Amino acid sequence: MIMYIVLGIIVLVVLWLLATYNGLVTLRNRVREAWSEIDVQLKRRSSLIPNLVETVKGYAKHEKSVFENVTKARSALLGASSLSDKAKANDQLTGALKSLFAVAEAYPDLKASENFKQLQEELSDTETKVAASRQFYNTNVLDLNNSLETFPSSIVGNTFGFTKEEFFKATNEEKADISVKF
Amino acid sequence: MATVKTAWDQVSSNIFKTWLIMFLFSVFAFGVIYVISRAWLGPNIDALSIAGVSLVVAGVMNFVSYWWSDKIVLGISGAKPIDEKSNKDLYRLVENLCIAAGLPTPKIYVIEDTATNAFATGRDPKHAAICFTSGILDKLNKTELEGVTAHELSHVGNRDTLLMSVVSVLVGVIALLSDWYLRSMWYRGRNNEENKNGAIFMVIALVAAILSPLVATLIQLAVSRRRELLADASGVLLTRYPQGLENALLKISADKEPLEAANRGTAHLYIINPLKGKDIMGFMANLFNTHPTIEVRIKALKEMEGKV
């Protein structure tokens, strides 16, 4: 009788272990999937930049340093591989773009151009998409980290070498002004 | 945050509940059909197999609703699809919230009606559709519309749309059956050729025919009301801005115009009961309301302010 009870308990523990392990794997995969979505949106953002720079150049040839900054920030973003590098490069790009749009303010013809308006709109939409994908990523990281920190799933997590993931943080600058103002 | 329930737990629990409710309803329907057909056709008839056949019919209806409920509902409501070209602002608003929710962008529809309302349907996120009236698009500002959209997307993400469409078909089947029976009683009453055994069944069947649609409807209401509050809460987690949905609910409820395209069958799908003026007032209205009152929903949302 006692043997059966012990056997039953062992079976239950094994089942729980399997379920928890699989649950953690699923959570980790979701974080990775969410991460690739951020990547998609960041790429989309950087692919808009050359077109924008060309358009602004057509009206404001002399603002060389501004263009250089934007181009540099863009290649930094494309080159970044780790999460924190990407977050930093993305912030840099946001800053560079801000000065680009500040420059554009001085050129009424540019501001009136349909092409420029459309690019501005695209860019602002893409920035919303970056923010949205970041939110989804952070939600998934939170789920994973919670499971890894709370008892008893933390035991399984530590035993099988699961690691907590980093949140994708927005800097203060980005929080203050995400969209491009007209 | 004692126990952290992820959105994914909600999904599995809803899928489980869908099956459970399908099962319970089937048992319930089986009993009702058995009693009614026994009373209707007398003890010589094989009532058990009639009940079986009826369940197969119900199963087919379920199957149909599972695969085509979205198209049926959208068709009944006269909704027209839009895409990124024809309505860029709305499309992007939905698309961006979907990215935040990790859902594929659903098909988006608009009903040309000045009433303010919205609903979501579809068996899973890949086959989801979200529908707005042109009135709601005109009257709400962006943050309010985001609140409403996030609420609807939560229904999609939680698989409420699956559960609700299955429930509504099952409720419909039971209501239909009892309706048939009560009508047939009317004619049979003139013949008056029953035996003693049949009389008892007649009484049971009569009670079942009267009560079962009531019970079925109450289950449907209980299921759908709790779901509205849940969708409000998870929608706010998406927008992180409870005031948006609050203002939207206030605006929508202040608008007394009923939605022409809605009926009792589709009422529970909408964000706010679209039948409004058509409903009876007072306690009964509350008992048979498909939605919690606006006060309850606003209060719940106010409690979320500052926490998200």
Question: Looking at the complex, does the CB of residue B2 fall below 8 Å from at least one CB of chain A?
Answer: no
Q: What is the DSSP letter of B307?
A: T
Q: What is the DSSP letter of B270?
A: B
Q: What percent of chain B has pLDDT over 90?
A: 13
Pick among 3.40.50.150, 1.10.390.10, 3.10.450.40, 3.30.2010.10: CATH of B76-160+223-304: 3.30.2010.10
State how far residue A154 is from chain B, nearest Cα, in angstroms: 14
Does the annotation count B152 as an active-site position? yes
> How many folded domains does chain A comprise?
1
Question: Looking at the complex, does the CB of residue A36 fall below 8 Å from at least one CB of chain B?
Answer: no
Strands B107-111 and B118-121: unpaired
Q: pLDDT tens digit string along A21-36?
A: 998 998 999 999 898 8
Are A139 and B102 a contacting pair at CB < 8 A? yes
Full domain range(s) for residue A111: 2-176
Residue B262's pLDDT band (boundaries 50, 70, 90)? low
Res B28: pLDDT: 75
Residue B183 has pLDDT above 80, yes or no: no
Question: Looking at the complex, does the CB of residue B222 fall below 8 Å from at least one CB of chain A?
Answer: no
Question: Looking at the complex, does the CB of residue B236 fall below 8 Å from at least one CB of chain A?
Answer: no
Distance set, CA A80 to CA A83, A95, A131, B81, B248 (Å): 8, 17, 18, 40, 41
Are B97 and A132 a contacting pair at CB < 8 A? yes
Containing H/E element for B111?
A: strand B107-111
Q: Got the DSSP string for B178-237?
A: HHHHHHHHHHHHHH----HHHHHHHHHHHHHHHHHHHHHHHHHHHHHHHHHHHHHHHHHH
How far apart are alpha carbons B8 and B113 in whole angstroms? Answer: 35
Q: Which of A41-50, A129-138, B42-51, B126-135 is least confident?
A: B42-51
Q: Got the DSSP string for A91-137?
A: HHHHHHHHHHHHHHTT-HHHHH-HHHHHHHHHHHHHHHHHHHHHHHH
Are B102 and A34 a contacting pair at CB < 8 A? yes
Are B99 and A143 a contacting pair at CB < 8 A? no
Residue A176's pLDDT band (boundaries 50, 70, 90)? very low
CATH for A106: 1.20.1440.20
Question: Which of A44, A128, A140 to probe the B interface (max B CBs under 10 A)?
Answer: A128
Domain edges within chain B: 8-74+163-211, 76-160+223-304
Q: What is the ipTM of this complex?
A: 0.76
Q: pLDDT tens digit string along A46-73?
A: 888 888 888 888 887 777 788 888 888 8
| Smallest CA–CA distance from A38 into chain B, residue | B99
- Distant-in-sequence, close-in-space partners of A105: CB < 8 Å, separation ≥ 6: A111
The model's pTM: 0.74
| Smallest CA–CA distance from A138 into chain B, residue | B100
Q: With contacts defined as CB-CB under 8 Å, which chain A residues touch B6?
A: 143
Residue A164, domain member (yes or no): yes
Q: Which of B152, B257, B295, B305 is catalytic?
A: B152
